[in-house]
Structure 1
Amino acid sequence: MMINRRLQPLLEQYDWATERLITRLTGPTSNSGDDQDVDVPVLTDAEYQWEPVGGCWSVRRRSDGPGRGAVKLIGAGEWGRDGAPDSPWPPPLTTIAWRLDHLSETLMGRSSHLGGDRTFTRATYESPADAAGAIAQIRQAAADWRRSILQVDESDYDRTGLSSYPYGSDAEETFPSIVWWMNQEILHHGAEIALLRDLYVHRAR
Structure 2
Amino acid sequence: MDTNEFDWNQTLREQWEWHWENQIRARLTGLTDDEYFWSPVPQAWSVRPRGSSTAPVQAGSGDFTIDYAIPTPTPAPFTTIAWRLGHVIVGVLAARNAVHFGAPAASYDEWEYAGSAADALKQLETQIDVWLAGVRGLSEAELRTPVGSKEPFPELPMAALVLHINRELIHHLSEVSLLRDLYVHTHTAGSGSTE
TM-score grouping bracket, smaller chain normalisation? 0.7 to 0.9
**Count, aligned residues:** 182
Pick the aligned partner of 2:139 from 153, 157, 176: 153
Structure with more contact order per residue of length (Cα contacts < 8 Å, sep ≥ 6): 2
| Cα distance between partner residues in 2 of 1:163 and 1:108 | 17
Contact map agreement 1:22 1:139 (CA 8 A) in 2: no
Q: 2:184 aligned with 1:201, yes or no? A: yes
Q: Aligned-pair distance for 1:203?
A: 0.5
Q: 2:56 aligned with 1:71, yes or no? A: yes
* Equivalent residue, structure 2, for 1:21: 24
Q: 2:185 aligned with 1:185, yes or no? A: no
Which piece of structure 1 moves more, 193-202 or 110-119?
A: 110-119
| Cα distance between partner residues in 1 of 2:106 and 2:137 | 18
Contact map agreement 1:60 1:81 (CA 8 A) in 2: yes
- Cα distance change, pair 4–130 in 1 and its aligned pair in 2 (3 A): farther
Amino acid at match of 1:128: A
* Equivalent residue, structure 2, for 1:55: 43
* Equivalent residue, structure 2, for 1:89: 74
- Cα distance change, pair 85–145 in 1 and its aligned pair in 2 (3 A): same
Amino acid at match of 2:58: L
- Cα distance change, pair 126–173 in 1 and its aligned pair in 2 (3 A): farther
Contact map agreement 1:79 1:129 (CA 8 A) in 2: yes
* Equivalent residue, structure 2, for 1:119: 105
- Cα distance change, pair 126–103 in 1 and its aligned pair in 2 (3 A): same
Identical aligned residues as a percent:
35
Contact map agreement 2:147 2:161 (CA 8 A) in 1: no
Amino acid at match of 1:11: R
**SS state of the match for residue 52, structure 1?**
coil
Contact map agreement 2:10 2:136 (CA 8 A) in 1: no
Q: What CA RMSD, in Å, does the superposition of the two structures yield over aligned residues?
A: 2.0
Amino acid at match of 2:11: P
- Cα distance change, pair 119–47 in 1 and its aligned pair in 2 (3 A): closer
**SS state of the match for residue 121, structure 1?**
coil
Q: Aligned-pair distance for 1:89?
A: 1.9
| Cα distance between partner residues in 2 of 1:61 and 1:18 | 30
Pick the aligned partner of 1:169 from 134, 152, 162: 152
| Cα distance between partner residues in 2 of 1:203 and 1:123 | 33
| Structure 2 unaligned spans of 5+ | none
| Structure 1 unaligned spans of 5+ | 27-41
